[in-house]
Amino acid sequence: MIESLFPAGAFSEQQIPIIAGPCSIESEAQIADTMEQLSLAGIRVVRAGAWKPRTQPGHFEGVGEIGLRWMRETANRLGQYIGTEVCLPSHARLALDYRYDFVWLGARTTSSPFLVEEIARVLEGSELPVLVKNPIAPDFHLWQGAVERLQRHHIERIALILRGFTAQSRGLLRNDPMWHEVELFRRALPDLPILCDPSHISGESALLREVSSEAIRRGYDGLFLESHSTPSTALTDAAQQITPEQIKDLLHREEHAEDGILRDYREDIDRIDDELIHLLDQRMRLTRLVGEWKADHHLSLYQPERLRSMIEDHRRRAGLYGVSEELVEELFRTIHDHSLSSQREQASKRE
């Protein structure tokens, strides 16, 4: 229960617990406006980054300590609870100084054992709730290790946040949620609440509803959302932020979203099928070139050894992904048959 980490009533105005706020604190006006709008939308627990660990230098890295002061003052006025990302022990010390209500470890920090250790040392004895995002790479031991380091410093008020993992090739989503693997991992830490961060998983506001629905369907304890008063002007993660007003809409539609969810899934499947057809077209073009080369070099078109090793390879890869090996074999035998017929047809035209 994520509720147990926050004062009573912190989430009372919501169907499910929501922590929301801008990716970054950008200016006094921006954080105050956003927090006011969040308050009107019934959000009492607010997130915002004062320090932004950017993948590459030269981008906005946050306003730092002054941002904590702006946020604290606004929270006092509006009666909200606030949290920020701590990337260094000095950040954790400042979060304590400004009486923050929670902090989180970002994906990059969770990936760094010495930093987690030093931050845990600072927070020891403070009772401050710490939310631990998954590391960038799908290394579940690293995620669990960060939690254990906190626990060894007697930090007991901990929750997890799934923000997705960097994927080898980016699909529709910015980060791969690996829902199934995360569920297996959670069995190792059954007592920790887990929030879903649909903003960093989707990377795009249009996909938020679908990812949020999936998290709710899977029994996540709440959402950790990025929300900005004017998302298009945001200095970081502009594409994935929504206005506080839209949060209400996101969840409002949730109640009646069954048809919408099915439709969205089908649209995604159609897009993938479309890509598959495009890839098949590229594959057929290549096999025609191979056919010409074989004819030029007087080789036989059918090469059983090549077919055997290709099927063996594809079955092994399918196994790695958990895709049915039988399906993959059947599919590639069919594709291969078609390639061969097309090469034969081509050869008969040359004769």
- As measured in angstroms, the least distance from the Cβ of 285 to ligand PEP is 40
> Of these, 67, 83, 106, 222, which contacts ligand PEP (CB under 6 A)?
106
Q: Is 91 in the site for ligand PEP (CB under 6 A)?
A: no
Contact present, 60 and 24 (Cβ < 8 Å) = yes
- In the bound state with Mn ion, the residue whose beta carbon lies nearer, of 59 and 317, is 59
- In the bound state with ligand PEP, the residue whose beta carbon lies nearer, of 123 and 318, is 123
Q: Is 200 in the site for ligand PEP (CB under 6 A)?
A: yes
Q: Is 174 in the site for ligand PEP (CB under 6 A)?
A: no
Nearest residue to 175 (alpha-carbon basis) of 160, 186, 162: 162
Contact present, 192 and 147 (Cβ < 8 Å) = yes
Q: How far is the C-alpha of 163 from the C-alpha of 134, rounded, in Å?
A: 6
> What is the C-alpha end-to-end distance of the chain, expressed in Å?
74
From 90-98, 104-112, 212-220, 294-302, span contacting ligand PEP (CB under 6 A): 104-112
DSSP state letter for 100: -
From 9-17, 103-111, 179-187, 329-337, span contacting ligand PEP (CB under 6 A): 103-111
Site for ligand PEP in 36-55 (CB under 6 A): 49
Question: Could you give the angle at the alpha carbon of 139 between the alpha carbons of 134 and 143, nearest 5°?
Answer: 40
Q: How far is the C-alpha of 264 from the C-alpha of 214, rounded, in Å?
A: 12
- As measured in angstroms, the least distance from the Cβ of 108 to ligand PEP is 6
Q: How far is the C-alpha of 98 from the C-alpha of 78, rounded, in Å?
A: 16
- In the bound state with ligand PEP, the residue whose beta carbon lies nearer, of 229 and 339, is 229
Applying CB under 6 A, which residues contact ligand PEP?
23, 49, 85, 106-108, 133, 163, 200
